[in-house]
Amino acid sequence: MQGRPGPDPERTEMREEAEDRADLRETAAEQPDTQKTEERQFLENYDPSVFERPSVTVDILIFTVQKRKLKLLLVRRAAMPYRGRWAIPGGFLRMDESAEEAAARRIREEAGVENVHLEQLYTFSAVDRDPRTRVISVAYLAAVPAGRLQFGAGEEAEEAALYTVSGTSTGGLILTAEDGTVLLPGELAFDHGEIVRTAVQRMRGKLDYTDLAFGFLEDPQSFTLAELRYVHEAILDRKLDVGNFRRWIKREYEAAGRIRETGYEQGAVGRPAMQYRACLGERD
């Protein structure tokens, strides 16, 4: 009598593989719950004092164009350190806000404006930049139309004033008060001189290919090419040839769809100027 055949090795191997896959699926299904429990326990027992924590500030460079000159808002510090020295407005980051939210809050408090051109400039993190403790500053650049700017001394400053910015960011900037008092960037509190130089260099470098200039216009939806040229001249701190500027604007701005004609200026004395509007958010 012939005996019963033994188990098929191939079928046995396939069954074992199927069982292994089932075990893996079961383990994977259990793992997320286990991992969540472990992470929750880790966070409950986490000690933030294990690592040193630097303070973080936001510093706001509030620029405007007034009387065809680029101007920067500075405040004279009322508290130590650097009491009595001029500085960029700013403040410490709160625990319940992002850097962007802190920047918007500070520009609202210092300049009385909202919804203006505001962009992050750079993070300044030199170890010894603040004599109090380790402080990292996230600097923001704001372009504010002169007609909207409202500022005062505030609680943390003795006074606030606009300083005209002239010179070159590499050869030497000069800050001049309304009364003619000259202030060099190196005389500002902390490392604010370096921050100002970085901001001016950034603006001049990106002026041609961004919408930065529109942020200085009183009404980006109704302006002349002359008004746009005044902004460029103020930021660059030099006169521009009228004809060359007009041709360049026509080629780089109008042909590219960055601005559009809206008609001639109404009620103008003499030859009316063509009005334009900025096509912000309308381009691909």
Domains, the chain: 55-206 (3.90.79.10), 220-278 (1.10.10.10)
- Among 94-98, 155-159, 205-209, 214-218, the minimum mean pLDDT is found in 155-159
Render pLDDT for 192-231 as a digit per residue (tens, 0 to 9): 999 999 999 999 999 999 999 999 999 999 999 999 999 9
95 vs 28: which has the higher pLDDT: 95
168 vs 42: which has the higher pLDDT: 42
pTM value? 0.84
pLDDT of residue 1: 47
Q: What angle do CA 239, 242, 246 make, to 5 degrees?
A: 125
- Average pLDDT of the segment spanning 69-88: 96
Report the DSSP beta bridge partners of residue 183.
Answer: 175
Residue among 17, 36, 53, 251 nearest 136 (CA): 53
Render pLDDT for 29-65 as a digit per residue (tens, 0 to 9): 556 678 888 888 988 898 988 889 999 999 999 999 9
pLDDT of residue 8: 59
pLDDT of residue 27: 59
* Spatial contact of 224 and 232, defined as CB atoms under 8 Å apart: no
